[in-house]
A and B are shown apart, each in its own frame.
Chain A
Amino acid sequence: MTVARGSDSISGVSTPATISDTSPILGQSVSRRSLETYLRATPSVDEVAANERAAALATRSIKRESKMHALELTIRMMDLTTLEGMDTPGKVTQLASKAIRPDPTDPTIPSVAALCVYPNMVPTASEALHGTDIHLAAVASYFPSGQAPLAVRVADTQWAQQAGADEIDMVIDRGAFLSGDFVKVYDDIVAVKEACGPAHLKVILETGELATYDNVRKASMLAMAAGADFIKTSTGKVSPASTRPVTLVMLEAIRDFEAMTGFQIGMKSAGGIRTAKDAIRYLVLVSETMGKDWMTPRMFRFGASSLLNDVLMQIRWLRSGVYQNPDYFTKD
Chain B
Amino acid sequence: MSRVDVRKTYKLYVGGAFPRSESGRTYPALDAADSVLANVADGSRKDLRDAVRVARGAQAGWAERSGYNRGQVLYRVAEMVEDRADTFVDQIRASGPTRAQAKREVDRSIDRLVWYAGWGDKFAQVFGNLNPVQGAFFNISAPEPTGVVGIVSPEEPALLGLVSRMAPVVISGNTAVLLASERWPLTAITFSEALATADLPAGVVNILTGRKDKLVPVLSAHMDVNAIDAWGNGWQGLDAIEIAAADSVTRVVRPPRSIEWADDRSSQSPHMIADFTELKTVWHPKGL
Residue ranges of A at the interface with B (Cβ–Cβ < 8 Å):
321-328
B49 touches A323 (CB 8 A): yes
Residue ranges of B at the interface with A (Cβ–Cβ < 8 Å):
45, 48-49, 52, 218, 221-224, 247-248
23 CB-based A-B contacts, threshold 8 Å = A321-B221, A322-B221, A322-B222, A322-B223, A322-B247, A323-B45, A323-B48, A323-B49, A323-B52, A323-B218, A323-B221, A323-B222, A323-B223, A323-B224, A324-B223, A324-B224, A325-B222, A325-B223, A325-B248, A326-B224, A327-B224, A328-B223, A328-B248
Closest residue on chain A to residue B220 by CB atoms: A322
Closest 5 CB pairs of A and B: A325-B224, A325-B223, A323-B222, A322-B221, A324-B223
A326 / chain B contacts, CB cutoff of 8 Å: 224
A324 / chain B contacts, CB cutoff of 8 Å: 223-224
B248 / chain A contacts, CB cutoff of 8 Å: 325, 328
A322 / chain B contacts, CB cutoff of 8 Å: 221-223, 247
A327 / chain B contacts, CB cutoff of 8 Å: 224
Closest residue on chain A to residue B45 by CB atoms: A323
A321 / chain B contacts, CB cutoff of 8 Å: 221
CB distance from A63 to the nearest CB of B (A): 16
CB distance from A314 to the nearest CB of B (A): 11
Question: Given the complex of chains A and B, what is the CA–CA distance between A328 and B49 in angstroms?
Answer: 17
CB distance from A9 to the nearest CB of B (A): 35
Question: Given the complex of chains A and B, what is the CA–CA distance between A325 and B223 in angstroms?
Answer: 5
Question: Given the complex of chains A and B, what is the CA–CA distance between A321 and B244 in angstroms?
Answer: 12
Closest residue on chain A to residue B226 by CB atoms: A325
B222 / chain A contacts, CB cutoff of 8 Å: 322-323, 325
A325 / chain B contacts, CB cutoff of 8 Å: 222-224, 248
B247 / chain A contacts, CB cutoff of 8 Å: 322
Closest residue on chain A to residue B49 by CB atoms: A323
Closest residue on chain A to residue B46 by CB atoms: A323
A328 / chain B contacts, CB cutoff of 8 Å: 223, 248
CB distance from A106 to the nearest CB of B (A): 15
Question: Given the complex of chains A and B, what is the CA–CA distance between A324 and B52 in angstroms?
Answer: 11
CB distance from A151 to the nearest CB of B (A): 48
Question: Given the complex of chains A and B, what is the CA–CA distance between A325 and B247 in angstroms?
Answer: 12
Closest residue on chain A to residue B222 by CB atoms: A323
Closest residue on chain A to residue B247 by CB atoms: A322
Question: Given the complex of chains A and B, what is the CA–CA distance between A327 and B148 in angstroms?
Answer: 14
Closest residue on chain B to residue A323 by CB atoms: B222
CB distance from A1 to the nearest CB of B (A): 49
Further contacts, 15 of them, CB under 8 A, given A323-B52, A323-B221, A328-B223 = A321-B221, A322-B221, A322-B222, A322-B223, A322-B247, A323-B48, A323-B218, A323-B222, A323-B224, A324-B223, A324-B224, A325-B222, A325-B224, A325-B248, A328-B248
